[in-house]
Amino acid sequence: MKEYLQPGRFVDSAHPAVVAFSRKHVSGSSERERVVSLYYAVRDGVRYNPFLDFTKPEVFQASAVLEADQGFCIGKASLLAATARAAGIPARVGFADVKNHLTSPRLAETMGSDLFVYHGYTDLYVDGKWVKATPAFNLELCTRFRVKPLEFDGREDSIFHPFDQDNRRHMEYLRDRGTYADVPVDAIQEAFREAYPRFYRLGQDAAKETFAP
């Protein structure tokens, strides 16, 4: 468990801002209660934003996400892992490819795909077992787009729902990319360039107006 408690380059759990955030929001007497409190602090306290410049390493780094007060799925997963480590709870980052069945037609056209590679989540070691937590979509966003918010109790995996509040097909998990002590940024950036050539040709500004989660 040593590597899952030590700070990394992107899961920078020793950064003063991360430590301060963890201390401010962690609560409860048990390990499970403490990790649940951190989950909700990251889920709802940091705005989800998928329109970031993925060529910049800082969008993957916990302290930078905290400073910007926004992040996409990987950055928020990194932040949750970092805050957990700061509280003495082993944590790592995990990845999977997912198909978003509610992607708007315009966004799918701009991205050239409704497949999202290297979706990020956090893997937390609680009460003797690893439990998945997905802090990506903040509650306000879920309410706006009628997406079911992901709750987390520290006992069961918290991963994307297959259907939304209107029983429309939502997220489908296609491929497990494994878990890591730190974010494998080089591999992720390479995969993004291969998966979204149209997006990189058009530029991110062309995609901003088309977003729906």
- The closest alpha carbon to 92, from 76, 106, 108, 81, belongs to 81
Angle, CA 184 vertex, CA 193 and CA 96 arms, to 5°: 75
pTM: 0.90
Q: Which residues pair with 70 in a beta bridge?
A: 47
115-126 β-sheet, strand order? 129-133, 115-126, 91-100, 171-180
Reply yes or no on whether the pLDDT at 212 is more than 80.
Answer: no
User: Could you give the C-alpha distances from 120 to 33, 59, 168, 171, in angstroms and in order?
Assistant: 23, 13, 23, 14
Please state which CATH class domain 2-206 belongs to: alpha beta
Instruction: Give the H or E element holding residue 108.
Output: helix 105-111
Total residue count of the chain as it appears in this document: 213
Report the percent of the chain where pLDDT is more than 70.
Answer: 87
Tens digit of pLDDT for each residue in 168-193?
Answer: 877 899 999 999 999 999 999 999 98
Q: Which of 172, 173, 178 is nearest to 130 (CA)?
A: 178
CA dihedral 60, 7, 95, 83 (to 10 degrees): -80
> Using one digit for the tens of pLDDT, what is the confidence trace for 65-81?
999 999 999 999 999 99
Question: Which residues partner with 94 through β-bridges?
Answer: 121, 179
Q: What average pLDDT does range 156-165 have in this prediction? A: 86
